[in-house]
Structure 1
């Protein structure tokens, strides 16, 4: 196994390492803590648990006599102390296997049950050195990679002037990006750490390209930096960027707050949605620049939401959703007919308005800032996949929010507010917009139906399947426009939708 070494000069450094490990470990990790009495095993375990709980006052009693102490945290953690273990077989009675299957196991004195612990575990070996401790971290390559990444983030924060910052898990999303909230020791407002390592290429799908390339999705943090600068220059509330390492994919950005546009019960707050759709009206009324320089020799060219990108997204319905729904894949004829329909629909889009579209403008990525005025009340995040394409796409993403049920009455109010905003600025074709809105809503929901299944089957994230009924209710409404009649008929014939006459 590979290893990492760190010199921990004092107890504060040991606590810091415990916090860094809390951002690196995941369910199924077993961590052995080895070393003499007083070497730092309990200190690092306590720091790890308090960071996982985001509670510096969390009581962490020593499990010396109970042998195990369980914590129901963001990820469940079981803290074992095997010093008094009589025989390795007693681990079964302590529920070790069950604890490991459900969360993380911290094991002090792992030498007492060497043969009963997983061979592929992480080990921290502590030895006294001068006034501090030296720790050697060993483990499987994948686990060490996660730990090394967390330590690199700590170094990045130190270089940015936040050496003593407290790091706390914030959230992840359906992508590989992760976020932390960073609290500075000097009491400055919290900041957000975006951890977005360069995307690893996937399987080749067509034309020698993988999915991210075909869909023109961001593969590093450069697009985020560029679009943030563009939005802020135009007066929109995107996060300021305080520090960046473009090569490592690390950004320290402004914390725009945590209040969203839905209430505590997960229902849409109409006033906030209306302000958000009015923001889109302002955004779409002014032509966006295509090339944004963010450093010497680094220029981001905003890609087009072109035929290739639209079709590779709609393919998710036929490649993932349809086989899951029916238990058998689409026939060659079904595939040919489906993509021929989309070719015709994309041709129709050619006559519509095109401008900057943010791509994921819906409740998880919109923040409400009640202490601000005007456009500043709406904070925008997660726009690294922005493209130039049919502006109706963003309006469809908001009005048919993938994670929130927008009833028909509110949807009509939102569309009305957007149309009013655009008409006030002149030169707006309402009929063409409404046509494109239905088309883009259909495209987005075909994509989402496939994504929910892909997240469940490929990525082990079944929780997103709860959005499937809403997705199909939205799709059914999108397909009511006459221009989408061929797609509606295809969906009925394929067994994806039930015809209204059959109800």
Structure 2
């Protein structure tokens, strides 16, 4: 659990008092891989709210409020921000409850309706996102350069640990070239909003109609780029196996909503973007284990590698697969054990 300094605690207490919540009972909530922290606030009348505490409001709270307003305007369910002190990185927002899709699935819920809700929410976003909103919000553009920059975390955080030394400049250049070759066709199509961390941990089941049934709670890092990204994020989950038949059904559901899309090109884009995402996640999980001692993430590494390797078998990933085969063949991936420290 994150330790809150006395100075920060005083700021939080003053913020709650200023918004009539000094008497609320505060309950810490489980966080994620970010530096954000959440508490549930229980008022005397039984109403509950969520306190958000972030150390990087300009990168976090400000875009959350702005992007959330756009999503709400097109009929999606996002937490309403009731009060905010942007300068101090504090906010009070609606409480969507505890029915995350991941908790419901762990409790034995039928996955089909939940994944339909999630897919339908994406359909609603891609149909309704207002023209010019991405530019107005200055969302980062996910083009080949940005995707490549993000995959380089694999070169910096993972490969030196496996090899015992950094890669050469040529090996790094070859890595960039391979990714650019596969990414340029994917990024040439019509772009859309990318929520970027779209999976069952970040979706809440709500008693609301249609696309509103899926509550969106994590979108502050949204960007603008290939529309297949969020669907592959949902269906190739680093933390949970998704049955192939279910994944195929959701891709078909999405494509049926957009008959103008080239289905084969969309599936190729999913493969490339899935490989991008998995490559970065492998590095993130190892970095969290080594730099912060958060080794619980390592339990997911075998799954992420399986997902990545499945994509590397596809012809659209051939240049990247060649780079991996040369520098990190399959036996080196499976045999590697992340050390306790470096």
When normalised by structure 2's length, the TM-score is: 0.90
Q: How big is the alpha-carbon RMSD for the aligned residues of Structure 1 and Structure 2? A: 2.3
Q: 1:364: which partner in 2?
A: 201
Q: 1:432: which partner in 2?
A: 265
Note if contact 1:306-1:389 (Cα within 8 Å) is conserved in structure 2.
yes
Aligned with 1:196 (options 54, 75, 78)? 54
1:168 & 1:458 partners in 2: Cα distance? 28
Structure 1: give runs of 5+ residues left out of the alignment: 1-22, 26-142, 200-217, 294-298
Q: 2:78: which partner in 1?
A: 238
More strand by share: 1
- What secondary structure does 2:44 align onto? coil
- What secondary structure does 2:88 align onto? coil
Q: CA deviation at 1:292?
A: 8.1
Q: CA deviation at 1:252?
A: 0.4
Select the structure with the greater relative contact order (CA < 8 A; seq sep ≥ 6).
2
- What secondary structure does 2:221 align onto? coil
Note if contact 1:237-1:379 (Cα within 8 Å) is conserved in structure 2.
yes
Aligned with 1:179 (options 20, 38, 46)? 38
Q: 2:338: which partner in 1?
A: none
- What secondary structure does 1:435 align onto? helix
Structure 2: give runs of 5+ residues left out of the alignment: 333-342
Q: Deviations over 1:7-52 (max 9, x none)?
A: xxxxxxxxxxxxxxxx874xxxxxxxxxxxxxxxxxxxxxxxxxxx
Larger-Rg structure: 1
Q: CA deviation at 1:169?
A: 0.3
**1:9-408 alignment to 2 at 5 Å?**
25=3, 146-187=5-46, 189-198=47-56, 219-262=59-102, 263-264=105-106, 269-291=111-133, 300-369=137-206, 371-408=207-244
More helix by share: 2
Q: Deviations over 1:296-332 (max 9, x none)?
A: xxx7422212333211210111211222233333233
2:108 & 2:132 partners in 1: Cα distance? 36
Deviation beyond 4 Å, 4+ runs, structure 1: 265-268, 289-293
Q: 1:464: which partner in 2?
A: 297
Q: CA deviation at 1:266?
A: 8.0
2:13 & 2:174 partners in 1: Cα distance? 52
Note if contact 2:282-2:304 (Cα within 8 Å) is conserved in structure 1.
yes
1:434 & 1:268 partners in 2: Cα distance? 25
Structure 1 pair 443/266, CA: closer, same or farther in 2 (3 Å)?
farther
When normalised by structure 1's length, the TM-score is: 0.62
Note if contact 1:288-1:355 (Cα within 8 Å) is conserved in structure 2.
no
1:292 & 1:161 partners in 2: Cα distance? 35
Structure 1 pair 478/173, CA: closer, same or farther in 2 (3 Å)?
same
Q: CA deviation at 1:444?
A: 0.3
- What secondary structure does 1:352 align onto? coil
